[in-house]
Amino acid sequence: MAIYQYRCEQCGAFDVSRPIGTAAAAEVCAGCGGAAARVFGSPHLARTSRPLARALQAQEASADEPRVVRRAPSRESAAPPADPRHALLPRP
């Protein structure tokens, strides 16, 4: 079964469920009994959230152009750890 969209000029849009390939060009509106023309909308595609898209782009970029680190970061430039237990971890 597929869901087809129709639009009545007086009542607005509504959906009709029919077997695939059997949608008529027009349906009878359940509200007013008038003819409702079939409309074609966009399929229900999932949109990727912005944080996920950024993470996927970063992952893809790191596969092609990995950042090269030539020396260990200095202790002064490092941000203080958010968790105080991180200060107990061994340092290079």
Binding residues for Zn ion, per CB under 5 A? Answer: 8, 10-11, 29, 31-32, 34
Q: How many CB atoms lie within 10 A of CB 11?
A: 15
Whose structure tokens read 């200095």?
74
Minimum CB–partner distance for residue 42 and Zn ion (Å): 23
Minimum CB–partner distance for residue 29 and Zn ion (Å): 3
Of 13 and 32, which CB lies nearer to Zn ion in the complex structure? Answer: 32
Q: How far is it, in rounded angstroms, from Cα 48 to Cα 40? A: 23
The two beta strands, 26-28 and 2-8, are unpaired
Minimum CB–partner distance for residue 17 and Zn ion (Å): 18
